[in-house]
Amino acid sequence: MQSWFSSHTVIWLWVFELFLSVSAFSIPIYVSVQNGVSVDYIGEISSWNEEFWDSLGGMWELFPTRPVYMMIAKGNFGAEMGLTVSYPDSFRVLIEIRYPISEMRATVAHELMHVFQFAWMKRYRKTMPLWVMEGLATWYGGEKGTYLSPIGSNPFLFWSVNVLKYREYPTGQEAMGEYYSEVYALFNAINAKVNLNKNLPVLLKDVRNGDTWQEAFSDVLGENFYKFYDQWREHMLFIVIVKFASFWALWIGLPLILVVIFLIRYIKRYSTNGGNTVNDGIEDLEELYGKDYWKNDGYK
């Protein structure tokens, strides 16, 4: 009797473990399209979801258990390009159709990163500052697709949008676009130094163990995060100023050069003829019509 119970117990435990494994690694994402949008998008986006799901699960060391309802829609979402909302029983994701298609692929990756962030925060009862949420999402989107968000050429706008100070999203499309550009550039710089694909689990472990996000980033960077951030910001400001100066040099410098060339030629000509600009005109006419042109009032 004891032997029968033991063997059946082992079998049931094995089946239960297999069930949990399948549940954990299945992909509860349901893709739909807005009215008027081709259903052909569903297949391709579903294949992206499978790819990103496995990749993100490895980085976050968990898989969301709530279903993800993803809708593909037409529209102009501005700088956001997508939206993810976490509900108690599900995630709702809205994806804007973008061309080239690699931009939409980046948006899907970006929004799925948010899904994993919400799942991680709920499991470990942790919060995540806005700059970390959007920094990781824009970085991952750029890794998996085309994320066209270069920092602009306005040094005043760059300096006014300090990504670390925002608890909520900036107001206004210009500031919002600049925010996404800056946080994307910041996390690309972080990734270039520490490889986030490899070190994100280390970062998350530090936060789970009680570190602040700044302390966790200091750990993986090997230097004080604020020092790293200040140096990065100074470097980017220099680039923005150079872009700003180049832009205005093109529009102001070229006409100015033409004016200077004209003045040099005028002064040279004026000094050669002793300032007699009237004679300049007569000499030109005499060259064309002969020496007696001015004596005959220009008629022959």
d(CA 288, CA 122): 91
Within the chain, which residue ranges are assigned CATH 1.10.390.10? 24-222
- Choice among 72-86, 149-163, 169-183, 264-278 with the minimum mean pLDDT: 264-278
pLDDT for 238-272, tens place per residue?
888 887 677 656 556 666 666 667 667 667 666 66
Q: Across the strands, what pairs with 32? A: 71
Second CATH level (architecture) for the domain 24-222 = Orthogonal Bundle (1.10)
pLDDT for 33-62, tens place per residue?
998 899 999 999 999 999 999 999 999 999
Average pLDDT over residues 211-216: 97
Q: What is the percent of the chain with per-residue pLDDT over 70, rounded to a whole number?
A: 71
pLDDT for 92-125, tens place per residue?
999 998 888 999 999 999 999 999 999 999 999 9
Query: What is the pLDDT of the chain when averaged over all its residues?
Result: 82
Contact predicate 59/96, CB 8 Å: no
Task: Tell whether the model's pLDDT for residue 14 goes beyond 70.
Answer: no
- Choice among 23-32, 176-185, 200-209, 258-267 with the minimum mean pLDDT: 258-267
The predicted pLDDT at position 21 comes to 38
Average pLDDT over residues 203-209: 97
